[in-house]
Structure 1
């Protein structure tokens, strides 16, 4: 082997090592938000371009803003989960405000406002709920919010509520791996992916949830269990994808106390 061949061999080996190292690094999933989208029209059904759409919530100091395109369509991507007030306005029309628009983890909320001719200073309040429906995806998923699991018996960590989703049950044989395995629609516990705030925290060898990644429910805002038809970024999972969003801060001071007591005398 001459010097040129040796140099080429070294470059090939270095390239293969780099690819191997990158493949071992857990990739960040992109979905940790929701989306608000729709079409702005007037009273006659004609589309309204260049309308300003603003989504605000008490949890954030600045609203999310965009404008409708030439076809009246708009998209607010990567909207943090929460409850929003969406205001749509344009010169020559009365502003429309949609209250209590709920954005869940991974949801696509369709809101199609209709503007009436009037002054911008006029505001039409809408209380009807917007529709969270994505007709472009075949994904099957279940969202479990903190409002739902706060009122039911549960364990300390978020994995204790996964059985609330259809098709999910604990896999007894996976009990020695982290906090135990979970079957989703019959797949083994090693075929799942656990995502917390966009980061894959699954055990690299077993695919189970590591004990240190089993976050207490007091810190969880929402849990989403995807059982089929999920996106390409979760290609490493052939069972289910458990997507978890933790709570954010707020402008109010609050806290919570917890006491746990066990004793053999309490056993049945």
Structure 2
């Protein structure tokens, strides 16, 4: 009976991970070679998440010395390569962005004992030659530090060349609408939206998202403008891929409250010029956005322990209350 309960609990814990595991479009690829340039088949390649200190993928190079780690979540990784007769190679600080097809190029191994470790810091080429797409990336620092009216992450789309919005303000209670976003003069209903690798666009109207994450839950996002890969289709506009945050090997949490009140607002300068004093009153506004987040790892017998953390979580909850009169 206890085993049944453990199995049911394990399945329930795994269900939230299913979309992120099978829907990810990112991968890391490369080639392993010796100092003379000859390829090395049969080398063991491990992809290790630096934030979680967890092994994500393990594979063996093919006859051409190539490897490819598929369905990897965005993050910072260490690539560890081992082969008998060669020194172990550690390539650290390899950053994988959302929807990125990252080719780290050739990894050169030196002849020597496997116990000898050569550590190298990752230097990723600025131009990726394995894709023809035109895209723009908005990273974590921009998401967390740029000001946004209404705390709606779609406001950051204004920073991307070629994207326009026909709304003057993001201050509202309808957060999931995306019909005001246009790229290259196209319609707002021609765009595709993805959340953690899964489609996030209401196919009924093509103008709203199924789920609108809080800005505190968004890690980064990428906007692809043209020459999409074959995996994308359906709509001819831009492809917006949003990646949410994930837990790490330590626990973190936050609480926040953002308030706006007409007591601190000035009168509209246009209203000041109206002859009727009754028209010079300030617009009433009382708005509060509050919430919090918590993240970390999940202890589970024989699966995730303090020495071998393998289950992680991130939870965010945000609410908005607004009283606004004309």
TM over 0.5: yes
Question: Could you say which residue in structure 2 is the equivalent of 1:199?
Answer: 198
Equivalent residues of 1:158, 1:217 under 8 A apart:
yes
Question: Could you say which residue in structure 2 is the equivalent of 1:257?
Answer: 255
Question: Could you say which residue in structure 2 is the equivalent of 1:77?
Answer: 70
Q: 1:87 aligns with which of 80, 83, 95?
A: 80
**Hey, what's the Cα distance between the residues in 2 that align with 1:46 and 1:137?**
25
Q: 1:182-221 residue pairs with structure 2 within 5 A?
A: 182-210=181-209, 213-221=211-219
Secondary structure of 2:263 counterpart: helix
Question: Could you say which residue in structure 1 is the equivalent of 2:33?
Answer: 41
The superposition leaves residues 103-155 of structure 1 with CA deviations (integer Å, 9 ceiling, x where unpaired) of 11121222221011100000111124133654232211112122232122124
Question: Could you say which residue in structure 2 is the equivalent of 1:158?
Answer: 153
Summarize the Cα distance change of 1:132–1:83 in structure 2 as closer, same or farther, 3 Å threshold: farther
Secondary structure of 2:110 counterpart: strand
1:66 paired with 2:70, answer no
Equivalent residues of 1:42, 1:115 under 8 A apart:
yes
Q: 2:133 aligns with which of 139, 154, 175?
A: 139
Question: Could you say which residue in structure 1 is the equivalent of 2:89?
Answer: 96
Q: 1:52 aligns with which of 44, 67, 80?
A: 44
Question: Could you say which residue in structure 2 is the equivalent of 1:15?
Answer: none
What displacement does 1:64 show? 1.1
TM-score, normalisation: structure 1: 0.80
What displacement does 1:36 show? 1.2
TM-score, normalisation: structure 2: 0.67
Equivalent residues of 1:31, 1:106 under 8 A apart:
no
1:120 paired with 2:114, answer yes
Secondary structure of 1:86 counterpart: strand
Secondary structure of 1:225 counterpart: strand
What displacement does 1:55 show? 1.0
**Root-mean-square deviation over aligned CA pairs:** 2.4
Summarize the Cα distance change of 1:125–1:62 in structure 2 as closer, same or farther, 3 Å threshold: closer
What displacement does 1:179 show? 5.3
Secondary structure of 2:71 counterpart: strand
What displacement does 1:180 show? 4.6
Q: Which runs of 5+ in 1 are unaligned?
A: 1-27
**Hey, what's the Cα distance between the residues in 2 that align with 1:245 and 1:128?**
22
What displacement does 1:31 show? 5.8
Question: Could you say which residue in structure 2 is the equivalent of 1:24?
Answer: none
Higher RCO (Cα < 8 Å, 6 or more apart): 1
The superposition leaves residues 143-181 of structure 1 with CA deviations (integer Å, 9 ceiling, x where unpaired) of 2122232122124232121222221121339x9983552
